[in-house]
Amino acid sequence: MPFVTDSGFLLDAAFSVEVEEGGLSLVLESSGGRASGRGERNRDYLEALELLLRRLGDRRAVVRRALVDTRQTQKQNLPEVDRLLVHEPLRLTSESDFLTLRRQLTNAQRRVGQSKAASKSGNGTRRIRLRLEVPGYGPEDAARLQRELQGVRHDIVWPSVQVEVADELRLRIGEELPGVGRIVAVPRDAVVVETTDGPVQVALDDVQAGLHRLTKDGRAPVEDVTGALVATVADAGVEDGSAVRRPLKRGAQGFAELDGRAMATYRKEQGALRELLVGDAEVASCALCGRPFPVAFLIAAHIKRRRVATDDERQDLENIAMLACAFGCDKLFELGYVTVDESGVVLTASAGGPLEPHLELLRGRVTEAFHDGSAPYFRWHRENVFRG
């Protein structure tokens, strides 16, 4: 498969991600041949190595071992200790000095397999093996990690109905289901709807099954709470007791006007709430990750959803709201991947994959947004939104 830069330029370099002894290894093939000649191969070796280190840094990878792994060293039966390029793990982050790291790895290659009497150093673009630990990636994720490191962007296929049910329903907490009731909680693997007969709990798997049926057949029965949830999540119409997929319409003037009014109201409320929380400050800290940002990049998030709060709670702005950054923390809290426990410590749900490194940064932090006044609202979030 192609290997491309962030700008989309194709690199002449070959690498693979392999499963080795229950872990992951990255193997970068050697560069060689006469420059501009027919035998030249992997001429972008240096740029490729630096880019691979950078992309691994974005995933907070640890290079447990880096060693030369060529046919020549295999013939020489050189032990691993004599083929090592570094003598301690390399803990990569997005802030690492990747040019220096690349030079460290290439310069170290020149001495591997060389006799002490050698008059000049050896090749610095040899076949190397990096044994990795990548948060959120196990042996079963080797192919996925290789695709991501190659940097190839695939066209996105937008599903018409198939959605992540739990996320969608968490965003809709407080929303009315016409003729049925109101969504009040999405704890773990179920959704709770408050009806006139009391709370009804529906398994998320049942809602997902209804969505599959709607996708496959174009309609699904709306006979009970489950059917109403399916119709709401899919934004489907209802005809003759069944949810029916709506055709997509682009450029609807009415929707644009409504959306514009809603966005104007949202911005006005955000501005007022942010001003209450930060005053005249130009920079403030995210309540979850603790990093300082200009206030334009902080969202005044309701700890307890406004739609399910009482009138008194809605007026309790200093306690019911907190600042969460727009670089992931706000959405993670909104979707229940993150919450705060009864002592103010950040809890995270296990997500795996690319979310895990960011969750790891938040896990165990103590937030200053937690105090006696906000504690009841965080308790509501733990019990009704958190997926842990």
pLDDT digits (tens, 9 = 90+) for 100-159: 999 999 999 988 877 666 666 778 899 999 999 998 899 999 999 999 999 865 443 334
Q: Is 87 exposed, middle or buried (0-12, 13-18, 19+ CB in 10 A)?
A: exposed
> Residue 201 has what pLDDT?
93
Model confidence at 35, pLDDT cuts 50, 70, 90, reads low
Residues 6+ apart with CB under 8 A from 11: 3, 4, 5, 44, 47, 48, 51
Q: Which of 320, 329, 324 is nearest to 363 (CA)?
A: 329
- In this prediction the pTM is 0.48
| Count of Cβ atoms closer than 10 Å to residue 16 Cβ | 13
pLDDT at 261 over 70: no
Higher confidence at residue 160 or residue 314? 314
What the block records as the tokens of 26 is 């990255």
SS3 16: strand
CA 150: distance to chain centroid?
18
Domain locations in the chain? Answer: 15-150, 165-244, 258-384
* Separation CA 300–CA 325 (nearest Å): 9
Backbone angles phi, psi at 353, to 5 degrees: 60, -155
Nearest to 91 by CA among 113, 119, 61, 121: 61
pLDDT at 188: 77
**Nearest by Cα to 170 from 368, 364, 295, 333:** 333
Query: How many Å from the N-terminal Cα to the C-terminal Cα in the chain?
Result: 38
Contact 201, 228 (CB under 8 A): no
Burial of residue 182, with CB atoms counted within 10 A of its CB: 0-12 exposed, 13-18 middle, 19 or more buried? middle
| DSSP letter, residue 161 | S
Of residues 271 and 51, the one with the higher pLDDT is: 51
Longest Cα separation, the chain: 89
* Residue 220, token pair as written in the block: 């699904």
User: Which comes out higher in pLDDT, residue 202 or 233?
Assistant: 202
User: Any idea which of 7-21, 221-235, 298-312 has the lowest mean pLDDT?
Assistant: 221-235
Cα Rg, the chain, nearest whole Å: 27
Structure token digits, residue 351: 């997500």
Contact between 178 and 228 (Cβ < 8 Å): yes
pLDDT at 262 over 80: no
pLDDT of residue 275: 76
What confidence score (pLDDT) does residue 162 get?
Answer: 38
Q: What are phi and psi of 336, to 5 degrees?
A: 85, 15
Q: Which residue has the higher pLDDT, 157 or 345?
A: 345
